[in-house]
A and B are shown apart, each in its own frame.
Chain A
């Protein structure tokens, strides 16, 4: 990732802040290299679209810098920044045909011919249409296209302008789940092939799971957590992030004891071991456990006593295709995901007594 090609396409945002009416966006920082995808995750009103629009150049930040491809574009107008902007419903120009849409941003001359040679198709309209397999749609009007076709036209149009950065503003929010999955896959493979950095804004954590290399979680204009997918998903910083990224079990507890690598937290009458740095005894804490981290076994099946292994009673079982969701009560409620086959093997029905086990590494302590 150190070739001049990729450095030229990096994007860096430093300390970006901005105030609009009553809303304050503060201290957005990140850096992306070519081919990386940053997902900005947050609820409605958290400032995600505002951040995107500021990077695109539609708002002037109160402080901070935006560097695209090595250039400081903070003071530049949007048309000089070489960014592509993709929105919900894809924003195709309704009064132009597909061909005309794609041709809108076509550059008359190339800044540096080598830059895009590797991943890009020929830089003319015919080439782009061919690359996205939409040549047969060239004369069609945008309103007659399917969502997938629209996405491809929008991408072709964006590429025609030779962007250094792709910005996506919740493009899938208005779509049904199936189309969403399909388009997301297409988009992911397209972006990886192109090695142009991309910033994707969404409130759906599944988008983050599929697309992200890095994640920023925004709330009320402030960065709550930033890091790789691994970090954010498996080590959420606080309850807000945990809920947002879909941690299914969040329980209140109190630290009973702690040593350098392991802490004991009391939840109700149970004691859970959690891996992680030393914590003050007696502190109140929120405990996050992902449902897939809870394993279910039949009673007495363990060869040796395990850490975080409890007797529990099944309260609900739901089979969803190859997976099953199991609600158990072990002094506190827990949700677990098991394979449907396992559920059948263990004869899981409400009322059955089982043993549940959670690896200490999967017990996440969070403080608010």
Chain B
């Protein structure tokens, strides 16, 4: 946003917009930023003394690691099956397309506990997927990381699909046509043209899915209590010990997550600037 000029830095604003419009935007935006930041800062301040203690607890560290791992798997699977769906939604029209799009948004509106119970019905001991999967491949979803991933995916996959769809919609379909005439088949066109150009949107979706997966509690806890993910651990700390430790663990989770997201955005941005500067 800030660009370097001869005299130093200046803000890149559209010269045609009057200053007052931007001031208003910043003011209102500031309200939102404060709304987000102040409770988090209050939490951090409250638990500052306990951070070291909580960081030393092996079970807290294990829970945070488990959350990060499971969320990573959730985001990966969501991308593998969600990005192709997003491409289809962006490029083709078919009867029932509106229904499909609405279906994808549905998990966001379902109460988390209800989602968890639905997943238990399907992936549980006697479930239409759970039973055969256990018999054939030996996978269980009750009390395992697989169950955590499934619960996380259900509530967070819509973010990947929606953001990736917007990413693909922003790619001029004529570019894909040109690639085809240059001799690239549909698959190579997708991999070399559509996907790279939609990458920003896709990455946004994946990041959102990852973040949402980390924070999920209600759906996860129906399927899996042990091993404990970070939100479950935080809750257990609250019940067992008290608010101080729970808040401390929460802040620790936030610090780890924040660092991870900053790193991800930095890496994605690096990749882009290299491309542009070539």
Q: Which A residues contact B (CB, under 8 angstroms)?
A: 53, 56-58, 77-79, 81, 83-85, 87, 91, 93-95, 97, 104-105, 107, 139, 141, 157-158, 160-161, 163, 167
Contact = CB atoms under 8 A, between A and B. Distances in A.
* Residue from A77, A83, A87, A95 whose CB has the most chain B CB atoms within 10 Å: A95
**Is chain B's interface secondary structure helix, strand, loop, or mixed overall?**
helix
Contacts of A85: 177-178, 181
B174 interface: yes
A68 to B, nearest CB: 12
A222 to B, nearest CB: 25
Interface in B156-204: 172, 174-175, 177-186, 192-193, 196-197
Contacts of A163: 181
Contacts of B193: 93
B278 interface: yes
Given A105-B182, A161-B182, 7 more contacts: A91-B174, A91-B175, A94-B197, A104-B182, A105-B183, A161-B183, A167-B181
B175 A78 contact: no
Contacts of B181: 56-57, 78-79, 81, 83-85, 161, 163, 167
Interface in B191-241: 192-193, 196-197
* Residue from B175, B177, B182, B193 whose CB has the most chain A CB atoms within 10 Å: B182
A95 B197 contact: yes
B175 A79 contact: no
Nearest to A87: B174
Contact of A53 (B177, B185, B275, B278): B177
Contact of A141 (B172, B175, B184, B278): B278
B150 to A, nearest CB: 35
B4 interface: no
A333 B174 CA distance: 46
B186 to A, nearest CB: 8
A95 B275 CA distance: 7
A108 to B, nearest CB: 10
Nearest to B181: A85
Given A93-B193, A107-B183, A161-B183, A58 B278 contact: no
B206 to A, nearest CB: 18
A77 B175 contact: no
Contacts of A84: 181-182
19 contacts: A58-B180, A77-B185, A77-B186, A78-B177, A78-B180, A79-B182, A79-B185, A87-B174, A91-B172, A93-B193, A94-B197, A95-B196, A97-B278, A104-B182, A105-B184, A107-B183, A139-B278, A141-B276, A158-B182
A87 B196 CA distance: 21
Nearest to A53: B177
B177 A79 contact: no
Nearest to A163: B181
Contacts of A141: 276, 278
Given A91-B174, A95-B197, A139-B278, A104 B180 contact: no
A111 B30 CA distance: 63
A167 B181 CA distance: 10
